[in-house]
Amino acid sequence: MRDYLLTLCVTAAVTYLLTGPVRKFAIAVGAMPAIRARDVHREPTPRLGGIAMFGGLCAGLIVADHLFNLQGVFELSNEPRALLSGAALIWLIGVLDDKFEIDALIKLGGQMIAAAVMVIQGLTILWLPIPGVGTVALTQWQGTLLTVALVVITINAVNFVDGLDGLAAGMVCIASAAFFLYAYRLWMGYGIEAAAPATLFAAILMGMCLGFLPHNMHPARIFMGDSGSMLIGLVLAAGAISITGQVDPDLMKIFEGSEREATHALLPVFIPLVLPLTIIAIPAADLVLAIVRRTWNGQSPFAADRGHLHHRLLEIGHSHSRAVLIMYFWSALIAFGAVGYSVHSASSWIVFVIIGASAVGLVLLLMPRFTPRAPHWANRFVPPRYRHRGAEEDPAAAYEEEPVPVASGAQQGAAGAGMDEEAVERAPVAVGVSGVNGATAIGARSRFPDRRSIDSSR
């Protein structure tokens, strides 16, 4: 565990330190596309954050290769090299897309080629554990097709969910943490050496996401872009393939004992199959809904829109940060719930905890629909959104409670020249002025939230 933590920390540190220079490089080369109709952010923000994440991946693999307890992963398995080869290819395609906006079909072909590169080097699904039947060996073509399909689905699922600041990196970090616990338990608890590569991949993936998140949380100073979202999607898929198709479930010896014990142990057999799906459950659901929605409307499945789950949360009334936290909550509930049930499948309290947490999640989803109102006597002690509507009609109270914004020197001068209040409020702020967000590379952030519907075009 100490070596895994060291690898994680080095990966996170390298990713964090590289993100600042990468941001300046992205601004210099013009990797700052104009704001599109489906975007949530209100100012051009540099991309290419995947360059820093790829640097963290390389640093994590190099450090792990020099640690005594992890050297066996590189000596006994070719999977780390297969991962690095596929990651380099998909990262290069993502960098080109962040700068030149390449066609979606070209990206899809690149994703399939990257998956094929990993298959050629041995990172593939060899068999599937099926309860009641046992371990079913797959032919070379079956394993290849299943591996490529899983890689492509995972990459696009993560890419689709990358729509809010910090959303994709945080969800993948939560999923990889749950995956790390399961893979580490297989390796140390059951002594299955084939689970060591997947454990290493999960630790490195957590480091990549943790190192990038401080720069990507709302308001984001840089986006990971396709170079980052496709990269972490491929690393996540590589770990799922390694733990599913390389680890023999018979080594866990879960069918030993009485018939009753075998019945209780039947469900955890599915965990190697189900866990990779639970890790991407939220992104995959968003992917399926997006394809159905676009096809139903007569559009291409690859046509971008503003109908994703995170867009729906914003339309309900959640703030940007709350929408991200709600998506974090559901990802953690599904991933850690599956891991917890695999460890204590015979304990009914796990089910009740999951049901209770799901109920809490549903309440959080509906909070903007049912905003509580405080009584009149408590209006002075609660935030404005919870005050009784009658208090808003009192001009004196509004005058006492609402702070008066202080105009800057430029705005005061404009007001003195005869400009109206709206023009003064929207006066641009020059780049580099104190108080402007670090993500501002062109102009000032608008002080008024955009309340147009998702179907409106800008």
Local structure of residue 403 (DSSP, 8 states): P
CB atoms within 10 A of CB 322: 15
Return the CA Rg of the chain. Answer: 25
Both tokens of residue 201?
């991949």
250 assigned binding-site residue:
no
Query: How deeply is 221 buried, as exposed, middle or buried, from its count of CB atoms within 10 A (0-12, 13-18, 19+)?
Result: buried
Q: Which of 383, 374, 375 is nearest to 402 (CA)?
A: 383
Q: Using an 8 Å Cβ cutoff, are 287 and 153 in contact?
A: yes
- Euclidean distance between CA atoms 248 and 272, whole angstroms: 10
Q: Which of 128, 108, 175, 146 is nearest to 328 (CA)?
A: 175
- Helix extents (H) in 66-188: 71-76, 79-100, 104-120, 140-161, 167-184
First-last CA distance in the chain: 50
Q: Using an 8 Å Cβ cutoff, are 234 and 158 in contact?
A: no
Residue showing tokens 């995947």: 50
Interacting residues of 259 by C-beta distance below 8 A, sequence separation 6+? none
- Euclidean distance between CA atoms 424 and 408, whole angstroms: 10
Q: What are phi and psi of 306, to 5 degrees?
A: -120, 50
Residue showing tokens 């941001």: 23
Containing 378, the helix (H) or strand (E) segment is none
- Euclidean distance between CA atoms 224 and 354, whole angstroms: 32
Both tokens of residue 167?
């959303």
Interacting residues of 20 by C-beta distance below 8 A, sequence separation 6+? 215
286 assigned binding-site residue:
no
Residue showing tokens 């030149």: 100
Known binding-site residues equal 159, 226
Known binding-site residues for Mg(2+) equal 159, 226
